[in-house]
Structure 1
Amino acid sequence: MMSGAQRPSRRQLLALKGQTLRVSELLALFGERVRNYQTVPLIQEALQEVGLDTHPSFTTCGLMTDMLVVAYNPAPLADDAGDDEVPTGTLPQQSFKIGDIPSAREGIVAVKSTALLSNATHTMRQKNYSQLPVIDGLADLKGVITWSSITARYEKGETPTLANSMVKDSIPLAEVHQELFTHLPELRQYGYLLVRENSGNFVGIITAADITTRFHTLALPFFLVGEIEFRLRVCLGPKLTGDPVRVVKGPSHSGDFSKLMFGEYIKLLDGDQSNENLRLSANDNWKALGWGGVDRAQFVSQLNRVRVIRNQIAHFDEKPLDMLQIDELREFSGLLKQLL
């Protein structure tokens, strides 16, 4: 959580107007390292208090994107304004970059062009690699050694060496700022991508296994949250559409359950102790569901924990969800399935 001592002064924030900076630099001004459900709203509020914003928005842009600090121009308030949560049924909009795959920046194992072939093959066996780049210095790519390229020498009756076994043409290359999806055909064809920083230095390698791992890490929580939102609508919507929704959203609202924000599900079922109408309506709503074997307090508490996890996902927390959080989503989705 951001402390007052770490929050920049009004003068410091105003001095940012017109400057270009990256997400990491903005976070550092607030003494933070990652975007998450805690830091994003606090930084956003601090910027808006002094009339500033970033273009593109720091909440969704890529980590290496250059942002311009501009005057804050709030969008017109919609019918459901006032809830700062990410609307249900939406996903953050951000192009997926090569550099978003961890292995793209984790360093690259290579041999120099002066090495023996045995040095290369030993490293490949030791690390269970299918390929090994040959790089002099940080950026001078000479070629890539693969098991297939070595075998090809034997098939031609030649004695393989590092020099004659290197693949020198059609080497799949990518840069950290480039979009990942445009390089997927190359990754599928060759099984790997050598990754360069903008400076030209090689900084990592991406394999098909890295993509599978990253997809599981990123996509699984989204699918689980999507299941939960769908099952909540099916479980609650038919019985609570109309007046119960209007108590939460206001008497002029259409009463359409699908227009509720995720946090408003909690108000629908738990009310607000400071609002008598909400409290009484929530009591009636719970009775209307007829879930005799479900404890209301436990259900609402778990629903709130899921809300926090959902916002963490939607606000691009750099730290992946841990297994306890994944299990929380799975368990709640499973509970809702039983209530359908």
Structure 2
Amino acid sequence: MNIKPEFLQIIKDIKEQNIDIQLTTRDFLRYFSCEKRTKGNKGRIDVYLEEQNLETSPNYAELWIDGTLILKHKARAKSKASTSPIQKISILPAANKPPISISRDAKLSDAITQMMMHNFSQLPVMSNPRSVAGFITWESIGYGITNGNSSNEVKDFLDTNVTIVDLDKPLLDAIKIVIEKDFVLVQKKDKSLSGIVTIADISTQFLLLTEPFLLLEQIENLIRLLLDEKFLVQDIKSFCEEEEFENTIEFIDDLTFGQYIRLIEKPDNWIKLNLKIDRIPFINQLDSIREIRNDIMHFDPEGITPEQKQSLVNMAKFLTELIKYK
């Protein structure tokens, strides 16, 4: 594992001076030359922490990527690091961004100004920093005015049917509530608000998770079109026997992504595709896509890196153009 030199000094300070170091999850990962908490990265980091008799609090694997953790020495090494298999709402950036709120005694014009300036649909209304009185929305304002409410006080347009969830609320449970209520307030253990999660935030997270799958499906479908009717069934079966593949092949679709690569990287097979591009860089890029595919199939809640996503977009576009001249 590629450990940054400055991190080695931090570890030395922790051990020799018996101090705790505060840093973000993102910076912690970067000390290990990692951007994401993939299964492989977590395995290597966990082994290293065990070897160095270190731990993080909270567990770096469960914390929001830009959340703050404490790296510290532990008196006795644990046999295995335990992480919750259930994703929490705390994984969402919006759940970790304290919302703009307004006092229940504020003027209605103040609430309207805040909502217009920030393009908000709702504002939490607070009785005090740790007590939510309710919320005010364009809808509650509209209903009030329609029913003859001429007050200029926020408290007279207050909707008290507010839903508050804890920061460690299971994500799937929270999503169901957000869909039903349009939004939820998220609170820390001390009852102060840590964020507000809306349907838009859930949609953004859903797109983050699903877009790579859709791009991969597009890429695989395009590869199948490149291979379609270029080989005899017996040729494919003979190839699989030579490579000692265990799956039964009747159609191009029966091949795995890795098998596509193995098939077309052979010079004799490449000629059959009749493509006017260079074989080696194309195969190398396909292999990079295969590695990204492996990461995606772990369904990491943080998604893939921007560079990985761009690689998928570029390959999908390239194959689309290639198919035009097939």
TM-score, structure 2 normalization = 0.66
**What corresponds to 1:35 in structure 2?**
36
* Paired residues, number: 284
Secondary structure at 1:195's aligned position in 2?
strand
**What corresponds to 2:17 in structure 1?**
none
Give, in whole Å, the separation in 1 of the partners of 2:169 and 2:222.
Answer: 37
Structure of greater relative contact order (alpha carbons < 8 Å, 6+ residues apart): 1
1:1-340 aligned at under 5 Å gives the runs 2-3=2-3, 5=5, 24=25, 31=32, 34-35=35-36, 41=40, 44-45=43-44, 62-63=62-63, 70=79, 97-160=88-151, 161-168=153-160, 170-232=161-223, 235-236=226-227, 239=231, 241-248=236-243, 250=244, 253-254=245-246, 256=248, 262-263=257-258, 265-270=260-265, 282-287=266-271, 289-314=272-297, 316=300, 320-321=305-306, 324-334=310-320, 338=324
Aligned 8 A contact 1:110 1:132 in 2 = yes
Q: Could you tell me which amino acid in structure 2 is paired with residue 35 of structure 1?
A: K
Residue 204 of structure 1 deviates from its aligned partner by: 1.3
Long gaps (5+) in structure 1: 13-22, 53-60, 73-93, 271-281
Residue 132 of structure 1 deviates from its aligned partner by: 0.7
Give, in whole Å, the separation in 2 of the partners of 1:50 and 1:133.
Answer: 41
The 1:71/1:207 distance shift into structure 2, 3 A limit, reads: closer
Q: Could you tell me which amino acid in structure 2 is paired with residue 2 of structure 1?
A: N
Give, in whole Å, the separation in 2 of the partners of 1:339 and 1:62.
Answer: 48
Residue 300 of structure 1 deviates from its aligned partner by: 1.0
The 1:63/1:47 distance shift into structure 2, 3 A limit, reads: closer
Long gaps (5+) in structure 2: 13-23, 52-60, 65-76
The Cα offsets for residues 162-194 of structure 1, whole Å up to 9 and x where unpaired, read as 2221111x2133333323443445434442222
Give, in whole Å, the separation in 1 of the partners of 2:197 and 2:46.
Answer: 37
The 1:242/1:128 distance shift into structure 2, 3 A limit, reads: same
Q: Could you tell me which amino acid in structure 1 is paired with residue 3 of structure 2?
A: S
Secondary structure at 1:152's aligned position in 2?
helix
Q: Could you tell me which amino acid in structure 2 is paired with residue 44 of structure 1?
A: G
Aligned 8 A contact 1:242 1:255 in 2 = no
The 1:51/1:107 distance shift into structure 2, 3 A limit, reads: closer
**What corresponds to 1:84 in structure 2?**
none
TM-score, structure 1 normalization = 0.64
Secondary structure at 1:203's aligned position in 2?
strand
The Cα offsets for residues 245-286 of structure 1, whole Å up to 9 and x where unpaired, read as 3444x3xx435467866445434433xxxxxxxxxxx22332
Give, in whole Å, the separation in 1 of the partners of 2:292 and 2:37.
Answer: 10
Residue 127 of structure 1 deviates from its aligned partner by: 1.5
Give, in whole Å, the separation in 2 of the partners of 1:290 and 1:319.
Answer: 31
Residue 111 of structure 1 deviates from its aligned partner by: 0.9
